[in-house]
Structure 1
């Protein structure tokens, strides 16, 4: 696995970007479909794999930027559920010093498929669980939340109000098929505020064009009902 930094002199207009390899010493096997976050001077990597392996979570591979080397950091398991299953093609969102691992897949070595003109193909084990990992104490916690539909190769994003939206992904155990979906799933990382519900009530009574004018022109958090009311007033005046 290699780590590159893209550099460009800010004082020179239109100067080209330069790629600089950071980890010249040491070697780590390459991984496909991992997730990574920056925390201080360290890059935490989560999961990923190759055709012959899937990274486990009893440790995380961390790149120390200042020392320009990889570190294997042991993690602390959930007191009831242990470690998450190793996986790839999952998604990740970050809230403060916590990251959340969502869904993904791993090779199901106990089940194989026979394809015409192909050798035996290992089926994918689809995952729908959600795990929290603290970047400071390196401890895992399994959330009670599960995705209604297990997916991999999906995308996730976190709203300012603490709601995670999971879009798309694959739902087929056959790795050669990879049936894609366009479903939207969501769950909350923290309880929504009463202001959020008040804003939702306002939005439900708006016409579609009014919604477009507001949300295309204003950066609004739904828990900030005062900002929403102000945006509604400004949009009405502009119209």
Structure 2
């Protein structure tokens, strides 16, 4: 069992829609250097930063757009530095996608991979486009794909295994499905994977999916009026092309997680971490992990500072879970809060680095990074700045 070494904490500046006048935003009041509360975005992390792509906020629905904006969607890519706890709006090169609500995104090396999503009104301008953005050069590339390209949709799930990206489920805005497509990211060729089993999971959207390299595990999700349970996990075996229901084991004290959709699910080592979400009535603040070897659920003894759904989350290579944004109240209150928790014991070096960052003037040290090297700080920490 992984060690939980600290409770959930919020880092960086925090704003919620309820903290300001919850009315339509006036164009003259928009600050392009400010990260506004949002939902339906996607976030990925590396060992130094979190990158947030897109999102939605209805308070911007009456803003007249320029060639660079797409309100009430955020045609934006932001970076949150873990060391300085500062946000930076990234100026990218090339054509950024515009269907930036309930799209799918993941990190592959130094590239951000994007597929699908919807513009507004939801479902009337959906996408089946595939883009990449290099996180070093910040250059977008539209990939003209071939083969059995998935239909235009949003609310789907995406996972990567080696050179392949798998996309599962989603909705056109009117019809839900559980189709599985595989994309070879080197050739740009899509394949619609067959199903050789009588069982097929119920169609859904806003589920999440992880892979152990042999199987695809689908967690929760639902429709506009339903949410699916987590006691049995729909599992697709790639080699045989068969679906099955994986019966999981309950937490010995807390039983099974509640049904949910619009949650997050991230893989760390052999465990999938499910956090937050909506069961149709209540927004959840819990976090659970499912061991993909024993299939046993464990409820972590901590909770979010803010319950959220339509948020996004990812886990650093060292095991720190970062959660960003989402809807915090049923009456459509959104946040730009960053919440985090270590899922395993950080190294002593990591703890020392965090303690040093909390006590020193990082703005000054950013400008004089040589000072850090001179006092013996390892270069891989300095590079995080």
Q: TM-score, normalised by structure 2?
A: 0.48
- Find the counterpart in structure 1 of residue 335 from structure 2: 181
Correspondence for 2:183: 6
Q: Deviations over 1:193-238 (max 9, x none)?
A: 3322221233342442533786xxxxxxxxxx97x43357899xxx
Q: Quick check: which one's helix share is greater? A: 1
Corresponding position: 1:208 with 2:379: no
Larger Rg: 1
User: Which segments of 5 or more consecutive residues in structure 1 lack a partner in the other structure?
Assistant: 109-124, 215-224
Contact 1:145 1:187 (8 Å CA) reproduced: no
Q: Secondary structure at the match of 1:76?
A: coil
Does 1:192 find its partner at 2:346?
A: yes
Shift of 1:55: 1.1
Q: Can you list the C-alpha shifts for 1:107-131, whole angstroms capped at 9, x where unaligned?
A: 13xxxxxxxxxxxxxxxx1000010
Kindly indicate whether residue 212 of structure 2 is the aligned counterpart of residue 23 of structure 1: no
Q: In the alignment, what sits opposite 1:229? A: 378
Higher relative contact order (CA 8 A, sep 6+): 2
Please state if 1:100 is matched with 2:273: yes
Equivalents in 2 of 1:234, 1:70: separation in Å?
44
- Which residues in structure 2 correspond to 1:45-60 (within 5 Å)? 45-60=218-233
Q: Aligned in 2, Cα 1:155/1:209: closer, same or farther, shift over 3 Å?
A: farther
Aligned mate of 1:152, from 288, 309, 313 = 309
Name the structure 2 match of 1:112: none
Choose which of 137, 145, 150 in structure 1 pairs with 2:294. Answer: 137
Is the strand fraction higher in 1 or 2?
Answer: 1
1:131 and 1:233 map into 2 onto residues whose CA distance is: 33
Which is further off, 34-43 or 49-58? Answer: 49-58
Report how far residue 84 of structure 1 moved: 0.1
* Residue matched to 2:263: 90
CA distance in 1, matches of 2:276, 2:246: 23
User: Could you list the per-position Cα deviations for residues 20-39 of structure 1 after superposition, in whole angstroms to 9, with x for gaps in the alignment?
Assistant: 11134454322111110111
- Residues 149 and 209 from structure 1, CA distance in 2 versus in 1: closer, same or farther, beyond 3 angstroms? same
Structure 2 alignment gaps of length 5 or more: 1-177, 370-374
Structural RMSD (CA): 2.6
Relative to the length of structure 1, the TM-score reads: 0.74
